[in-house]
Amino acid sequence: MRVFVTGATGFIGSAVVDNLLAAGHQVLGLARTDAAAAQLAERGAAAHHGSLQDLGSLQAGADACDGVIHTAFIHDFGDYQANCEIDRHAIAAMAQALRGSARRLVVTSGTIVAGGKVALESQAAPQTGAVPRAASEAAAAQAVAEGADVVLVRLPPSVHDAGDHGFVPHLIRLARERGVSAYIGDGFNRWPAVHRRDAAALFRLALERGQRGARYHGAADSGVPFRDIASLIGRHLQVPVKALQDDAVHGHFGWFAHFAGVDNPCSSTWTRAQLGWQPTHPGLLTDLDQPHYFQD
């Protein structure tokens, strides 16, 4: 199968490219720059020049392939809602190119959908600002209603491995800057997590075996207590580990306070049974205990 991959040179997308190629698929990766195109060539993939905001390029890439895996997203939390809308339009454009065919679009979303209860694949995301990727999920549902073969892969707050530049590295930076590794309240709020190589395998399986309109959860760890993450960071940096309350929470975490306090236990039982997905890489705490997370 020839697969169009957005975000193909990113942290997650590059692992997806490697997994697809290892499984015998061909890859056409979205590339914004010549440097990105060169990276794809080095991995054995072809490049398609364009961007998330160039809807014509997205449609052309999707139309040239047998399926699409969409991992790209603009991770700028200063204008997060606008970036969610960019994603909504990107999904709609690619789905339109595939509509009426058996070619599948795999869309990325997040596991924060259940408000402290165990997140299940059967749950639709509430269409509220409290759900970070509500716009992406709405776009996927609309595309299915209009005749496209779309599935969702929901990823947890931590997708980890060497090269991670997401939420856990942000916590490490905050602990270095503030001189304390912090958690909120009792710190028992839970983060699911997945190694990026296991996430990559899930994207491929969703493309190959998924059911139209289904949601799949990439949670290898169903819920790691946030206090355990903070404690491990404190030990590595040799800084105190501290519980925060009230105004001190925003003073320490700033815009990240919502994510630091989210309780997001997540099940992937149905996903594993349906797709035969079996994570094999280290869990979050084991991976976080490695030196690569703490190298300046």
Q: Which pLDDT tens digit goes with each residue over 141-151?
A: 999 999 999 99
The segment(s) of the chain belonging to CATH 3.90.25 are 161-192+223-264+281-293
Beta-carbon count within 10 A of 191 CB? 28
More confident residue, 101 or 82: 101
Tokens of 71: 């991992």
Tokens of 275: 């797709």
Rounded (10°) angle between helices 196-209 and 11-22: 60
pLDDT for 147 equals 94
pLDDT for 131 equals 72
More confident residue, 237 or 134: 237
Name which of 7-16, 123-132, 227-236, 247-256 the model is least confident about: 123-132
- DSSP H/E element including 109: strand 104-110
Confidence of residue 15 (pLDDT cuts 50, 70, 90): very high
| pLDDT one-digit tens code per residue, 25-62 | 999 999 999 999 999 999 999 999 999 999 999 999 99
pLDDT for 215 equals 98
pTM of the predicted model as reported, rounded to 2 decimal places: 0.96
Average of per-residue pLDDT values in the chain:
95
Residue 128 has pLDDT above 70, yes or no: no
pLDDT above 70 coverage of the chain, percent = 98
pLDDT for 154 equals 97
Confidence of residue 129 (pLDDT cuts 50, 70, 90): low
- Give the dihedral sign, CA 187/154/38/35: negative
- DSSP H/E element including 70: strand 67-70
Q: What CATH code is assigned to 2-158+193-221?
A: 3.40.50.720
Would you report the helix, strand and coil content of the chain in percent, each value rounded to 5? 45, 20, 35
The segment(s) of the chain belonging to CATH 3.40.50.720 are 2-158+193-221
Residue range 95-99: mean pLDDT, rounded: 96
Tokens of 230: 């903070």
Burial class (CB in 10 A: 0-12, 13-18, 19+), 147: middle
Architecture of domain 161-192+223-264+281-293 in this structure: Alpha-Beta Complex (3.90)
Residue 227 has pLDDT above 80, yes or no: yes
C-alpha span between 65 and 148 (Å, rounded): 15
Residue 253 has pLDDT above 80, yes or no: yes
